[in-house]
């Protein structure tokens, strides 16, 4: 009905982002939703055919998008993150990758029926996982730091190496089968791979130097960075096909380990671009498949090969490569199961299918079907099982949403103690031992760290904490903390205490984008809350039932009672703020800060009720 490229772009964007939203809203793997949506609008109903509609632009668009996604992922590969995990990570991306290549190639030959040449090419490609599928799963699963770090590093580092391994296998085949046998092309491949690393490293160093010394203005840093990424990828890829991915990975890792503040400032923008590209490219690739390709997936040899890759090749390669490392059996089991394939596998398989068919290998005609079968099977199997398996192995932080409180004080100690009594994960962080004295006495979990310190990111696992309360004495510091953690926590889950009226910093005149949501009411400043606690006010938990309704609860409250938050029956927390007054329902728990007089009166009444009359002599 709408025969235009503009309509295709609009539809791809809407379907991709919509799939991400559905995945978030219903807690299902977004990659699975994108795959199904792409198949429906593509080969099933024929609404979209990106490979035909975009023509010659299709492959360059996908390639550049993959390069940007891989670069964004490699920007998070700070070597400080793998302290204590260097040995298992290195073993997995070297020994593990080699074992997976060998076993995958043997399976492709003996099970899928491919010739040795095609089998070793596709076996190299199938070692990849990649940030396009691993990172969304890690965000969803809430894994503990160790297994999450291993899976992330493996996915990003092995991604370009898998493509290069396939190229290497093809070059070896071409070298052995060519009539004019020379080693020049093989030597050129190794030289091009080495040169790609040098190009990426040099461009990363150069860009980092320009950013740090003010040679690029702030408003141009993101455009300049992405322009250089595209230049880096294109330059290396023009020298030798598939080396561009290696170049952008080297560039990203170089910048990540220069610890430039500008890179951290652009983190939110980079992640948004990556999510948008992953969404769009996955829909484009699945929509470009043909009905014949889908039908070919149900070939028995392909199905058995996929099962072997899932249940034999991956577990064996991880277990063998992690022998005598400090990984626990649970960590080895989880990493040995999770290996979803994604965009790189699909795009490179399409390229090699054409190249191998042109070289006379007729059995290469099933490569796209074989690859999509593995991609879809692993995305579904691992996407739906990662959370369940992590919980079973004790490697998940999934549970009641926790609260991280910044700033030690009498009030923060009291609210943290109440959360702990409700079995809600809670942690107080402060840089001062003095302010942590009441926290330690109350037995509340704490950590002495400056939350804004760069080092804290590698000591503190934020995964269990869905909510953050900035509760220090300084309004400006609270606002800075909230702004810093918007990408990790989300603006709706960031809170800070009510602003002081006589401090002179006039933060109230700033826009809604500065700081977190203001808690409780207009009088609930740091001094006001702490004075209440120090004067004997008590934290009270009240269950709302059908017999004791929320309306009745409100009618009985003392005028000085301060409503703090609700614990919903689902475990979700709803805080009272200046602009939000949640209403409790049956099964909810209301937490309030109330005057001591009412508490004492309730205790007195309870003692009177329980007092037994004396029997007459």
Each residue's pLDDT tens digit, 162-212: 777 777 787 777 666 655 556 677 788 788 889 999 999 999 999 999 988
pLDDT at 218: 82
Residues 379 and 460 in one domain: no
Would 321 be classed as within a structural domain?
yes
Would 330 be classed as within a structural domain?
yes
Greater pLDDT, 457 or 196:
196
Residues 17 and 161 in one domain: yes
pLDDT at 111: 92
Residues 74 and 134 in one domain: yes
Q: Residue 515 pLDDT > 90, yes or no?
A: no
pLDDT at 383: 83
Domain boundary among 343, 366, 392: 392
**What mean pLDDT do residues 487-516 have?**
69
Residues 440 and 560 in one domain: yes
Residue 151, domain CATH:
1.20.1530.20
**What mean pLDDT do residues 239-268 have?**
79
Residues 23 and 82 in one domain: yes
pLDDT at 307: 94
Residues 39 and 63 in one domain: yes
Domain boundary among 348, 366, 392: 392
Residues 350 and 462 in one domain: no
Greater pLDDT, 21 or 515:
21
- Number of structural domains in the chain: 2
228-237 long-range contacts, Cβ below 8 Å, gap at least 24?
A: 228/203, 229/67, 229/68, 229/71, 230/64, 230/67, 230/68, 231/203, 232/199, 232/200, 232/203, 233/63, 233/64, 233/67, 233/71, 235/199, 236/192, 236/195, 236/196, 236/199, 236/200, 237/63
Residues 287 and 421 in one domain: no
Residues 462 and 561 in one domain: yes
232 closest CA partner among 213, 246, 216? 246
Would 250 be classed as within a structural domain?
no
Would 130 be classed as within a structural domain?
yes
User: CB under 8 Å to 37, separation ≥6 — which residues?
Assistant: 15, 18, 19, 283, 286
Domain boundary among 392, 411, 427: 392
What's the pLDDT band for 459 if we cut at 50, 70, 90? low
Residues 381 and 527 in one domain: no
Would 214 be classed as within a structural domain?
no
Would 193 be classed as within a structural domain?
no
What's the pLDDT band for 2 if we cut at 50, 70, 90? low
Would 238 be classed as within a structural domain?
no
pLDDT at 390: 87
pTM of the model: 0.70
Greater pLDDT, 325 or 503:
325
Residue 570, domain CATH:
3.40.50.720
SS3 586: coil
Would 20 be classed as within a structural domain?
yes
Cα dihedral sign, 417-423-424-428: positive
pLDDT at 617: 43
Domain of 100, in residue numbers: 5-186+282-392
What's the pLDDT band for 227 if we cut at 50, 70, 90? very high
Residues 416 and 364 in one domain: no
Residues 557 and 460 in one domain: yes
């Amino acid at each position: 009905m709408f025969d235009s490229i503009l309509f295709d772009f609009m539809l791809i964007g809407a379907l991709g982002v919509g799939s991400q939203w559905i995945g978030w809203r219903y807690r299902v793997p977004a990659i699975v939703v994108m795959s199904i949506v792409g198949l429906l609008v593509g080969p099933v109903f024929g609404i979209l055919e990106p490979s035909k509609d975009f023509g010659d632009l299709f492959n360059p668009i996908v390639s550049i998008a993959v390069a940007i996604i891989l670069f964004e992922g490699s920007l998070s590969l700070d070597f400080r993150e793998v302290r204590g995990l260097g040995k298992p990570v290195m073993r997995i991306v070297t020994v593990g990758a080699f074992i997976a290549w060998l076993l995958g190639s043997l399976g492709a030959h003996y099970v899928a029926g491919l010739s040795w040449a095609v089998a070793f090419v596709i076996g190299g490609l199938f070692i990849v996982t990649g940030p396009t599928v691993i990172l969304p799963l890690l965000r969803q699963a809430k894994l503990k730091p160790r297994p999450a770090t291993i899976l992330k590093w493996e996915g990003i580092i092995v991604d370009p190496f898998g493509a290069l391994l396939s190229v290497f296998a093809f070059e070896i085949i071409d070298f052995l089968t060519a009539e004019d046998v020379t080693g020049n092309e093989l030597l050129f491949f190794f030289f091009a791979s080495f040169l790609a690393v040098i190009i990426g490293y040099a461009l990363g160093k150069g860009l980092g130097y320009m950013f740090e010394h003010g040679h690029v203005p702030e408003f141009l840093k993101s455009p300049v960075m992405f322009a250089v990424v595209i230049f880096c990828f294109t330059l290396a890829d023009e020298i030798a096909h598939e080396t561009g991915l290696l170049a952008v990975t080297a560039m990203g890792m170089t910048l990540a380990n220069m610890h430039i503040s500008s890179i951290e400032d652009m983190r939110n923008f980079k992640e948004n671009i990556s999510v948008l590209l992953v969404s769009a490219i996955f829909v484009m690739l699945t929509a470009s498949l043909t009905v014949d390709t889908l039908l070919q997936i149900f070939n028995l040899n392909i199905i058995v090969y996929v099962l072997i890759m899932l249940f034999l090749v991956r577990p064996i390669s991880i277990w063998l490569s992690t022998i005598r490392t400090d990984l626990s059996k649970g960590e080895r089991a989880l990493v040995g199961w999770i290996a979803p394939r994604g965009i790189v596998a699909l795009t490179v398989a399409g390229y090699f299918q054409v190249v191998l068919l042109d070289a006379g290998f007729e059995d290469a005609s099933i490569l796209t079907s074989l690859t999509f079968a593995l991609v879809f099977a692993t995305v579904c199997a691992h996407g739906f099982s990662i959370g369940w398996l992590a919980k079973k192995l004790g490697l998940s932080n999934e549970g009641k949403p926790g609260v991280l409180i910044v700033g030690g004080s009498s009030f923060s100690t009291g609210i943290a103690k109440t959360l702990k009594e409700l079995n809600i994960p809670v942690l107080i962080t402060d840089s001062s031992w003095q302010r942590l004295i009441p926290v330690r006495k109350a037995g509340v979990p704490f950590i002495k760290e400056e939350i804004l310190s760069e080092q804290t990111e590698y000591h503190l696992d934020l995964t269990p904490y869905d909510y953050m309360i900035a509760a220090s004495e300084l309004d400006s510091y609270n606002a800075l903390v909230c702004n810093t953690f918007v990408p990790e926590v989300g603006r709706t889950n960031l809170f800070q205490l009510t602003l002081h009226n006589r401090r002179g910093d006039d933060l109230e005149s700033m826009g809604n984008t500065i700081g977190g949501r203001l808690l409780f009411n207009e009088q609930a400043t740091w001094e006001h809350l702490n004075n209440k606690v120090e004067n004997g006010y008590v934290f009270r938990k009240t269950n709302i039932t059908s017999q004791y309704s929320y309306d009745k609860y409100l009618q009985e409250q003392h005028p000085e009672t301060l409503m703090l938050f609700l614990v919903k029956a689902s475990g979700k927390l709803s805080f009272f703020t200046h602009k939000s007054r949640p209403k409790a329902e049956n099964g909810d728990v209301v937490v309030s800060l109330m005057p001591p007089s009412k508490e004492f009166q309730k205790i007195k009444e309870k003692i009177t009720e329980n007092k037994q009359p004396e029997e007459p002599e």
